[in-house]
């Protein structure tokens, strides 16, 4: 039997948010606030940059100490603005990745700084063709630099890189990266959305992941992994689902992950369209009420 949950880490897109949505449902918002009021620490763990993470969670009534694990673990802070962790990729590595990945799709690098040039890419029209919604949502933070290497000068180190294209393109890009001289210089996680034929390669400093950030956060809070729950739906959630003592996979997850969930004994939540995170949090709170008698 698992001990009571003290820390819950949740992915955003496809988990807290249904596909293509930018606002949380009222039920999910209420469940998050209720969990905090019951003493559960919440961490939102996403591949999004900080500025893109904030809009869906601001105004929900969450506490200032709500943890935001952004850029797939490379930058961690609180909703109130306290910096907890930050890791950067050396600019020389980022320049090398440009050469490897440019033939396969759109390449973007994110920097831990507000305003325009927080994100840089070299072909806005190419990005529009595959990730139009993302471009529109991030337009104020994007600067076009061609060649992209010119934005990656020595000391101007990004926190994360991203390549985006079709599923086939990104699988080929991942193979090319693994065969390149830069394979050991960065971590690479593929996220797929087959219904949209969209895939994203997240490029991070070696060893960095949502799971790495969650483990460090739990240690900082004095929370055991058995008291930690992780909820996610895609490949960039794998490390945190594996590290947490209580893994929960969304019903809308990719088939390969659903098979893995059965083998590893992870619970399954209803889909993001069905407020799956709210269902899980409500269940936790109900069990607490029953236990108190």
167 — phi, psi (to 5°)? -60, -45
d(CA 91, CA 93): 5
> Is 80 exceeded by the pLDDT of residue 178?
yes
Give the fold, CATH level 3, of 91-204: 3.30.1240
Question: What's the pLDDT at 44?
Answer: 98
**Average pLDDT for residues 189-202, to the nearest whole number?**
87
DSSP letters, 190-211, are: EEEEGGGTEEEEEEESTT-SHH
Q: Residue 51 region, left (φ>0) first, then alpha (ψ -120 to 50), else beta?
A: alpha
d(CA 91, CA 109): 10
Q: Are 190 and 256 contacting, i.e. CB atoms less than 8 angstroms apart?
A: no
Give the fold, CATH level 3, of 7-86+208-292: Rossmann fold (3.40.50)
- Tens-digit pLDDT profile for residues 227-277: 999 999 999 999 999 999 999 999 999 899 999 999 999 999 999 999 999
Question: What's the pLDDT at 146?
Answer: 93
The domains of the chain are located at: 7-86+208-292, 91-204
**Average pLDDT for residues 194-198, to the nearest whole number?**
85
Q: Is the fold of 7-86+208-292 the same as that of 91-204?
A: no
- Tens-digit pLDDT profile for residues 9-64: 999 999 999 987 889 999 999 999 999 999 999 999 999 989 899 999 999 999 99
Helix (H, G, I), strand (E, B) or coil at 162: strand
Higher pLDDT, 293 or 78: 78
- Tens-digit pLDDT profile for residues 276-290: 999 999 999 998 887
Percentage of residues of the chain with pLDDT beyond 90: 79
Q: Which class for 47: exposed (0-12), middle (13-18), buried (19 or more C-beta within 10 A)?
A: buried
Report the number of secondary-structure helices (H) and strands (E) in the chain.
9, 14
Q: Are 73 and 45 contacting, i.e. CB atoms less than 8 angstroms apart?
A: yes
């Amino acid at each position: 039997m698992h001990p009571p949950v003290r820390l819950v880490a949740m992915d955003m897109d496809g988990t807290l948010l249904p596909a293509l949505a930018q606002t949380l449902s009222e039920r999910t918002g209420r469940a998050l606030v209720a969990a905090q009021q019951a003493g559960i620490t919440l961490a939102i763990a996403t591949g999004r940059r900080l500025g893109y993470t904030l809009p869906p969670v601001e105004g929900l009534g969450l506490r200032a100490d709500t943890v935001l694990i952004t850029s797939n673990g490379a930058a961690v802070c609180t909703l109130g603005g306290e910096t907890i962790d930050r890791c950067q990729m050396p600019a020389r590595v980022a320049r090398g990745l440009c050469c490897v990945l440019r033939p396969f799709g759109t390449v973007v690098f994110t920097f831990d700084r507000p305003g325009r040039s927080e994100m840089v890419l070299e072909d806005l029209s190419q990005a529009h063709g595959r990730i139009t919604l993302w471009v529109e949502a991030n337009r104020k933070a994007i600067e076009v630099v061609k060649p992209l290497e010119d934005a990656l000068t020595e000391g101007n180190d990004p926190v994360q890189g991203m390549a985006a294209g079709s599923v086939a393109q990104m699988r080929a890009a991942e193979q090319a990266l693994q065969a390149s001289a830069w394979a050991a210089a960065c971590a690479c996680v593929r996220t797929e959305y087959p219904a949209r034929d969209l895939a994203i390669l997240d490029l991070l400093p070696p060893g960095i992941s949502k799971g790495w950030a969650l483990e460090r956060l739990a240690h900082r809070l004095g929370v055991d992994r058995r008291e930690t729950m992780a909820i996610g739906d895609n490949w960039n959630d794998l490390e945190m689902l594996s590290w947490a003592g209580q893994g929960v996979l969304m019903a809308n997850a990719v088939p390969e992950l659903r098979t893995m969930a059965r083998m590893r004994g992870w619970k399954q939540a209803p889909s993001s369209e069905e407020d799956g995170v709210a269902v899980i949090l409500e269940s936790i709170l109900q069990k607490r009420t029953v236990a108190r008698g």
